[in-house]
C-alpha cells in the first residue's frame, strides 16, 4: 500500500520524469461473444493509475494515485510539473480523476480531482490548470471547489468527473466510510454536506442556477443527486444526455444507476448489500418510497470502477453497450441495456490484465483500460486480425 503523507515534493516542485513506452501485444486474439480482441500493453510501471483523458492532438493524460499526472505520447511517459501542493495520498485517496474542458483545443484547460488534507482528515477537491503546448507542465493552477466531506483519510472519495453537453461538470463524492448502520443520521442521507452525492458545477466551480436544490435551504446547492455510497464509474450518454454511474456496494450490492436530478439513491437506507462481518442486510430492504433502486445490482460484488458507453466502429456489434471495469473478479463487463433494463451481460478479460480501475473508448474506437496495481499499466483493446 502506497502511503505518502505530503506530495509537494513530488508534484509541486520542478520535476520531469521521462520513460520510454514499449508497446507489447499481450494476447493476439482474445475471444468474446462477438469479436476477437487483441490486447496491447501501451505502458507499464505506473503506480495505481486512476483516470485518463485523450488529447485531441494525440496521446493521453493519466493520473497516478500517489500524486502524479503524466502525458503518454509518441513512445514516452512524461510526468508533468505544476500539480497541487496540498494533495494527500493514503489508501484510496490521492490523485484521482481527470477530464478536459469541452473547449480544450482553445483554452488547454485540464480538470482533476484529488484528496486534500492531512493525517487527521481529508476531503476531495477539484482543480484546473492549463496544459502547456510545448513543455511537460501544468500552469495557472486554480482550486475551483473543495467538497464539504471531511473525514478520516483513506476511504470512499468517489471522484469521477465528466462534462455534460451544457458545459457543466458532474463530480461524484463518496460517503467517506460513514457508519452504514445508522441510516437516519448517515451523511449520504442528510444533504447538509456533500457526502454521498453527485455534484453539478459550472466550469469555474460555481453553482448552476438550475440545479435541483438551489431553492431548498436544507440541501446544499451543489447537489444534483444523493444517497450514493461510492460511485467510481460515470459517463454522460452521447446521444440522450443521460447520466449513468456504477457504484460500490458493501458485501454485494454493487450498482448500476441512471442518475437524475434531485433523486435519492437510497444508501444506506436501502441496499442489495450485506454487512461484511454479520452478513445482515444493510438498511431496511431493497426498495423504499421516494428512493431509487438500481438498474442492475452485482452480487457477489465486482467492485465496479470505470464506466463507458461504446459508440465506435472498431467493435460494431458492441455499439450502444456499456463497458464496466471491475476490481474484484477482475474483468470488463459488457452490459446491454434496453429501456432501463439489463437484457444481457458478458464478462470479458477475466483475470487477464489485472484490476480494472478505468475503462474508456479512445478516439479511434479502441478501448483503453487502466489497471489498479502498484505496477499498473495502460492497455488498449483492438480488433484481432
**Residue numbers annotated as active site:** 156
Q: Which residues contact 269 (CB under 8 A, 6 or more apart)?
A: 183, 186, 189, 227, 283, 284, 288, 291
Give residue 352's domain range. Answer: 3-383
Grid cell 483492438 is found at 382
The predicted structure's pLDDT at residue 227: 98
Contacts with 106 (C-beta within 8 Å, 6 or more apart), sequence order: none
pTM of the model: 0.94
Q: What is the CATH number of the domain that holds 90?
A: 2.120.10.30
Provide the pLDDT for residue 225. Answer: 98
> CA 86, CA 309: separation in Å to the nearest integer?
34
Q: How confident is the model at residue 8, as a pLDDT?
A: 35
**pLDDT, one tens digit for every residue, the chain (385 residues):** 333 333 333 344 334 456 666 799 999 999 999 999 999 999 999 999 999 999 999 999 999 999 999 999 987 899 999 999 999 999 999 999 999 999 999 999 999 999 999 999 999 999 999 999 888 999 999 999 999 999 999 999 999 999 999 999 999 999 999 999 999 999 999 999 999 999 999 999 999 999 999 999 999 999 999 999 999 999 999 889 999 999 999 999 999 999 999 999 999 999 999 999 999 999 999 999 999 999 999 999 999 999 999 999 999 999 999 999 999 999 999 999 999 999 999 999 999 999 999 999 999 999 999 999 999 999 999 999 8
- Residue 18: what pLDDT? 63
Q: Would you state the pLDDT for residue 361?
A: 98
Total number of domains in the chain: 1
Rounded to whole angstroms, the Cα distance separating 222 from 235 reads: 19
CA triple 270-123-251, angle to 5 deg: 30
Please tell me the predicted confidence (pLDDT) of residue 22.
76
Residue 67 phi, psi (nearest 5): 135, 20
> What size, in residues, is the chain?
385
Are the CB atoms for 272 and 294 separated by under 8 Å? Answer: yes
Amino acid at each position: 500500500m502506497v502511503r505518502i503523507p505530503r506530495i509537494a515534493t513530488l508534484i509541486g516542485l520542478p520535476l520531469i520524469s521521462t520513460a520510454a513506452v514499449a508497446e507489447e501485444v499481450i494476447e493476439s486474439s482474445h475471444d468474446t461473444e462477438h469479436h476477437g480482441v487483441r490486447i496491447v500493453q501501451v505502458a507499464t510501471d505506473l503506480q495505481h493509475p486512476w483516470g485518463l483523458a485523450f488529447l485531441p492532438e494525440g496521446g493521453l493524460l493519466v493520473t497516478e494515485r500517489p500524486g502524479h499526472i503524466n502525458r503518454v505520447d509518441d513512445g514516452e511517459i512524461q510526468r508533468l510539473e505544476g500539480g497541487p501542493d496540498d494533495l494527500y495520498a493514503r489508501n484510496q485517496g490521492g490523485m484521482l480523476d481527470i477530464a478536459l474542458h469541452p473547449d480544450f483545443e482553445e483554452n488547454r484547460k485540464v480538470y482533476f480531482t484529488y484528496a486534500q488534507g492531512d493525517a487527521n482528515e481529508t476531503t476531495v477537491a477539484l482543480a484546473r490548470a492549463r496544459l502547456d503546448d510545448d513543455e511537460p507542465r501544468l500552469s495557472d493552477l486554480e482550486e475551483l471547489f473543495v467538497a464539504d466531506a471531511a473525514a478520516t483519510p483513506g476511504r470512499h472519495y468517489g471522484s469521477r468527473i465528466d462534462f455534460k453537453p451544457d458545459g457543466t461538470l458532474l463530480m461524484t463524492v463518496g460517503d467517506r466510510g460513514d457508519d452504514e448502520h445508522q441510516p437516519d443520521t448517515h451523511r449520504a442521507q442528510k444533504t447538509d454536506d456533500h457526502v454521498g452525492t453527485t455534484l453539478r458545477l459550472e466550469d469555474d466551480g460555481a453553482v448552476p442556477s438550475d440545479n435541483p436544490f438551489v431553492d431548498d435551504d436544507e440541501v446544499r446547492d451543489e447537489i444534483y443527486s444523493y444517497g450514493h455510497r461510492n460511485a467510481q464509474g460515470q459517463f454522460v450518454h452521447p446521444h440522450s444526455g443521460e447520466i449513468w454511474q456504477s457504484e460500490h456496494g458493501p458485501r454485494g450490492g454493487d450498482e448500476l444507476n441512471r442518475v437524475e436530478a434531485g433523486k435519492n439513491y437510497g444508501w444506506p437506507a436501502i441496499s442489495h448489500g450485506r454487512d461484511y462481518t454479520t452478513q445482515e442486510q444493510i438498511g431496511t430492504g431493497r426498495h423504499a418510497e421516494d428512493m431509487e433502486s438500481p438498474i442492475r445490482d452485482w452480487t457477489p460484488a465486482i467492485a465496479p470502477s470505470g464506466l463507458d458507453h461504446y459508440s465506435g466502429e472498431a467493435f460494431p456489434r458492441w455499439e450502444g453497450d456499456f463497458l464496466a471495469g471491475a476490481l474484484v473478479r477482475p474483468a470488463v463487463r459488457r452490459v446491454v441495456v434496453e429501456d432501463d433494463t439489463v437484457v444481457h451481460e458478458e464478462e470479458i478479460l477475466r483475470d487477464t490484465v489485472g484490476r480494472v480501475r478505468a475503462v474508456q473508448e479512445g478516439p479511434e474506437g479502441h478501448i483503453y483500460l487502466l489497471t489498479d496495481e502498484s505496477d499498473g499499466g495502460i492497455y488498449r483493446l483492438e480488433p484481432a486480425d
